[in-house]
């Protein structure tokens, strides 16, 4: 399953990678055995998918000794993998408990079981997406390459794709079970059903992919990828390189006639007041008069905020977007009152980062803009809320320089899904790559190289459409859970667990 994700891109494997786990827990009433199998499968999927976190080693530039850095990286990777694996454990436990009676309408029983399994997995992903730690939805395995299936995200978000994956895996698994008990005809029917279901999902996705792209409200934007290594980002060398690089890039893009310049997360790692008094960037904005979305630090009650400043043509702040989903351990310590005494943040910042509010919406000179900073790309509700409030185009600003090269590829895949779900053009701008331009259908029409200084001009389009997902959220998951509850009561097993 993990090899469906970037950088492997073997997304076809994901359509039958859940089958072994489904077979192993079938009619197995041993809670202990199912727990172990869920743990192993979950560690395999989530552990490999987020193995890029090991790229934080070595942290010698933070003053952490090499061996201690390795240990910290391994512990972080293991803890995050276990958190992801806990979702799979809960699913196997639920499937152990919610047995259905095999003696009543055995063929119907198969479909009831698949609906229950799909509803529970989708419900768990929805629940986990509300927590501070989330990344590896099953839907991520299809992005960015299986664009027809990804269009299903416009219906009910990424959980639509997750549900499709679980349904197909369940049908294949149940076909194998039927074959094992000598019901070859029923087995063949289930395989045919799986093929027809995949064809139906792909057909619906293909039709959605044919929707026309907006060509009315054009916006010429310019992106600057500063390519400043984290090791120097917050010292005098990094400050000088940032001001010079972003000022040069801004002036170049202004000459190319862009209407809006966009910079990455903390492109200029200063407070706004400092930027207006020192350096060459702010005078360049005042002189050229081109609005800019600038990544810098804000403050709330003497704490830092990781912010994007919407600066108008006169150099005035139109709005400030503060990152609301902070990175655990990197930007804040969970349960800080307890753990803060024994764990320090893996960050060069000497003060706390404060999370922004959940109801932010920012005006730009070209309409409301949907903003996300780095880790927020994994949280579709952040983008849906802003789109529903009138956001007309997406801008995500990131700095993925902390991790291995697999991370920016997966991060780009997250942003592709957000563009499709909200039916919006998206500009992704990063410190070291991948920066990208994504259409509302998920096509990446430009992507930067890694670890290079880059400026790029592109034309995107603002629009005000609202998909089913934007209007009604994860309605399909609610429907599946309700249907699963009703069907379980009808087919409830009397077998004791």
Q: Which of helix, strand or coil describes residue 468?
A: helix
**In a 10 Å sphere around its CB, with 0-12 CB exposed, 13-18 middle and 19+ buried, how is residue 337 labelled?**
exposed
| pLDDT of 286 over the 90 cut | yes
| pLDDT of 62 over the 80 cut | no
pLDDT at 346: 54
For 364-378, how does the pLDDT look when each residue is reduced to its tens digit (9 = 90+)? 999 999 999 999 999
The mean-pLDDT minimum among 127-136, 146-155, 266-275 falls in 266-275
pLDDT band at 104 (very low <50, low <70, confident <90, very high): low
| pLDDT of 103 over the 80 cut | no
pLDDT at 401: 87
Fold of 217-464: Nitrilase/N-carbamoyl-D-aminoacid amidohydrolase (3.60.110)
Would residue 76 show up in a list of annotated catalytic residues for this protein? Answer: no
| pLDDT of 348 over the 80 cut | no
pLDDT at 309: 97
| pLDDT of 117 over the 50 cut | yes
| pLDDT of 495 over the 80 cut | no
CA 386 to chain centroid, in Å, comes to 16
What is the rounded CA–CA span in Å between residue 61 and residue 71?
Answer: 16
pLDDT at 215: 76
pLDDT at 303: 83
The mean-pLDDT minimum among 209-213, 359-363, 386-390, 490-494 falls in 490-494
pLDDT at 101: 57
Would residue 197 show up in a list of annotated catalytic residues for this protein? Answer: no
pLDDT at 278: 83
What is the rounded CA–CA span in Å between residue 484 and residue 482?
Answer: 5
pLDDT at 123: 97
Tell how strand 317-322 and strand 362-364 pair up. unpaired
| pLDDT of 163 over the 60 cut | yes
Which residues lie closer than 8 Å to 172 by C-beta, 6 or more apart? 15, 16, 19, 190, 191, 194
CA proximity to 407, closest of 58, 49, 47, 52: 52
pLDDT band at 333 (very low <50, low <70, confident <90, very high): low
**8 A C-beta contact, residue 377 and residue 412:** no
**8 A C-beta contact, residue 153 and residue 422:** no
Every domain range in the chain assigned CATH 3.60.110.10: 217-464
> Which residue out of 6, 265, 331, 392 is catalytically annotated?
265
**8 A C-beta contact, residue 425 and residue 438:** yes
> Which residue out of 113, 233, 323, 368 is catalytically annotated?
323
| pLDDT of 106 over the 80 cut | no
Which tokens sit at 155? 């219906």
pLDDT at 323: 95
Highest averaged pLDDT of the listed ranges 121-135, 176-190, 317-331: 121-135
Lay out the sheet containing 292-300: strands in order across.
317-322, 303-311, 292-300, 260-262, 217-225, 454-462
Pairwise pLDDT comparison (103 vs 151), residue with the higher score: 151
What is the average pLDDT value for the chain, to the nearest integer? 91
Which tokens sit at 264? 């990455």
The mean-pLDDT minimum among 40-44, 264-268, 349-353 falls in 349-353
| pLDDT of 496 over the 50 cut | no
Would residue 323 show up in a list of annotated catalytic residues for this protein? Answer: yes
pLDDT at 84: 96
> Which residue out of 6, 113, 331, 374 is catalytically annotated?
374
User: Percent of the chain having pLDDT more than 90?
Assistant: 72
Tell how strand 367-373 and strand 393-398 pair up. parallel
Mean pLDDT value of segment 418-435 = 97
């Amino acid at each position: 399953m993990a090899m469906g994700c970037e950088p492997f891109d073997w997304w076809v494997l994901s359509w039958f990678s859940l089958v072994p786990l489904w077979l192993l827990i079938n009619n197995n009433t041993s809670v202990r055995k199912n727990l172990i199998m869920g743990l192993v499968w979950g560690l395999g999927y989530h552990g490999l998918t987020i193995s890029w976190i090991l790229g934080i080693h070595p942290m010698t530039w933070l003053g952490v000794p090499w061996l201690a850095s390795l240990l910290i990286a391994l512990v972080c990777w293991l803890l995050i993998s276990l958190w992801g694996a806990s979702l799979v454990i809960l699913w196997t436990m639920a499937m152990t408990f919610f047995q259905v009676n095999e003696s009543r309408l055995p063929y119907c029983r198969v479909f009831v079981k698949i609906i229950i399994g799909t509803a529970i997995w989708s419900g768990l992903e929805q629940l986990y997406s509300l927590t501070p730690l989330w990344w590896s939805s099953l839907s991520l395995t299809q992005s960015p390459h299986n664009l027809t299936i990804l269009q299903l995200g416009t219906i009910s978000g990424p959980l639509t794709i997750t549900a499709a994956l679980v349904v197909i895996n369940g049908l294949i698994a149940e076909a194998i079970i039927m074959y094992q008990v000598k019901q070859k005809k029923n087995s063949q029917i289930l395989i045919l059903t799986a093929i027809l279901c995949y064809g139906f999902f792909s057909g619906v996705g293909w039709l959605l992919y044919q929707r026309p792209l907006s060509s009315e409200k054009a916006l010429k934007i310019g992106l600057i990828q500063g390519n400043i290594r984290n090791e120097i980002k917050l010292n005098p060398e990094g400050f000088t390189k940032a001001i010079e690089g972003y000022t040069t890039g801004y002036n170049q893009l202004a000459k190319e006639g862009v209407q809006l310049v966009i910079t990455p997360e903390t492109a200029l790692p200063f407070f706004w007041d400092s930027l207006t008094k020192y350096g060459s960037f702010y005078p360049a904005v005042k002189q050229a008069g081109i609005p800019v979305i600038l990544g810098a630090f804000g403050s709330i009650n003497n704490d830092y905020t990781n912010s994007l400043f919407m600066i108008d043509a006169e150099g005035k702040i139109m709005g400030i977007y503060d990152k609301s989903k902070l990175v655990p351990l990197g930007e804040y310590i969970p349960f800080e009152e307890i753990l803060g005494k024994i764990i320090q943040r893996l960050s060069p910042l000497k003060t706390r980062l404060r999370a922004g509010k959940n109801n932010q919406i920012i005006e730009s000179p070209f309409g409301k803009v949907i903003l996300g900073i780095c880790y927020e790309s994994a949280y579709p509700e952040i983008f849906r809320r802003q789109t529903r409030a009138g956001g007309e185009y997406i801008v995500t600003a990131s700095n993925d320089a902390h991790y291995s090269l697999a991370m920016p590829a997966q991060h780009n895949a997250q942003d592709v899904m957000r563009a499709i779900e909200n039916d919006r053009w998206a500009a992704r701008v990063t410190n070291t790559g991948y920066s990208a331009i994504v259409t509302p259908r998920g096509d990446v029409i430009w992507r930067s190289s890694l670890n290079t200084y880059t400026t790029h001009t592109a034309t995107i389009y603002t629009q005000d459409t609202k998909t089913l997902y934007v209007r009604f959220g994860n309605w399909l998951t609610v429907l599946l859970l309700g249907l699963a509850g009703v069907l379980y009561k009808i087919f409830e097993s009397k077998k004791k667990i």
